[in-house]
Chain A
Amino acid sequence: MTNLFNNYYEVAAVILFVIGLLILLLQRNLIKKIIGLNIMDTSVFLFLAAKGYIAGRLSPIIRNGQTDASLYINPLPSGLVLTGIVVAVSTTAFALALALRWYQQYHTLDVDGVVLKNVLKGEK
Chain B
Amino acid sequence: MGIAIIVLLLVGAVAAWGCKNDQTARKIAVGVMGLDVILSVVMTTSVVSGGEQVIRFGSGFLAQTIRIGYLECFMACIFSIIGFLIVWASMSMISHDVEKKLIPFYYFLLLGLLGTLNAVVFFESLLGVFVSIELSSFAAAGIVIVKNQTENVHAGLKYLSLSILGSTLVLMGMVILYVATSPERLDISSIAAVIKSSGFMAEKSSYIVWAYSLITSGVAFKAALFPCHIWLPDAHGTAPSPSSATLSALVLKAYIVFYMKIVFGGAGFAIIAGSGLRILLNVVMVVGVIAMIAGSCLAIMQTDIKRMIAYSSVAQMGYIFMGIGLGTEFGLFAALFHILSHAVTKSGLFLVAGSIIEQTHNRDLRKMGGLGKIMPITMALFTVGGLSMIGIPLLVGFNSKWNFATGIVGSGTYWLLIPLSISALLNALYYLPVVIRAFFGKEAKEMTEPFASKERPVKDLLPIILLAVGVVFFGVCAGPVSDFLQNGIAMLASLGH
What class of interface size applies to chain A in its complex with B? 35 or more
**Given A41-B168, A98-B145, does the pair A119, B130 have CB atoms closer than 8 Å?**
no
When distances are taken between beta carbons in the complex, the residues of chain A under 8 Å from B415 are: none
A62 CB to nearest chain B CB (Å): 13
With A and B bound together, what is the CA distance between A79 and B64 in angstroms? 13
Instruction: Please tell me the number of chain B residues within 8 Å of chain A, measured between CB atoms.
Output: 29
Closest to B156 in A: A98
Q: What does DSSP make chain A's interface, helix, strand, loop or mixed? A: helix
Q: Is A21 interfacial (CB 8 A cutoff)?
A: yes
Query: Given the complex, which residues of B lie within 8 Å of A90, measured CB to CB?
Result: 134, 138
* Contact with B150, one of A17, A37, A76, A119 (Cβ below 8 angstroms): A119
Any A CB within 8 A of the CB of B153: yes
Q: Which of A24, A87, A95 contacts B134 (CB 8 A)?
A: A87
**Does B172 lie within 8 Å of A75, measured CB to CB?**
no
Q: Does A80 contact B (CB under 8 A)?
A: yes
B171 partner residues in chain A, CB cutoff 8 A: 44, 84
A98 touching B127 in the complex, CB below 8 Å, given contacts A21-B165, A87-B134: no
Q: Are A91 and B175 in contact (CB under 8 A)?
A: no
Any B CB within 8 A of the CB of A19: no
Q: Which of A51-78 contact B (CB under 8 A)?
A: 51, 75-78
Q: In the complex, what distance in Å separates the CA atom of A30 from the CA atom of B161?
A: 10
Q: A106 contacts the other chain (Cβ, under 8 Å)?
A: yes
Q: Would you call A120 and B151 a contact (CB within 8 A)?
A: yes
A123 to chain B, nearest CB (A): 6
- Extra 12 A-B pairs, beta carbons < 8 Å, given A21-B165, A91-B164: A17-B172, A33-B161, A37-B164, A75-B60, A79-B61, A79-B62, A79-B127, A80-B61, A87-B130, A90-B134, A105-B150, A111-B158
Jot down 12 A-B pairs with beta carbons below 8 A, ordered by A.
A40-B168, A48-B175, A79-B61, A79-B62, A84-B130, A87-B131, A91-B138, A94-B160, A98-B160, A99-B157, A101-B153, A120-B151
Leading 6 A-B pairs by shortest Cβ distance = A79-B61, A76-B61, A51-B179, A87-B134, A75-B61, A48-B175
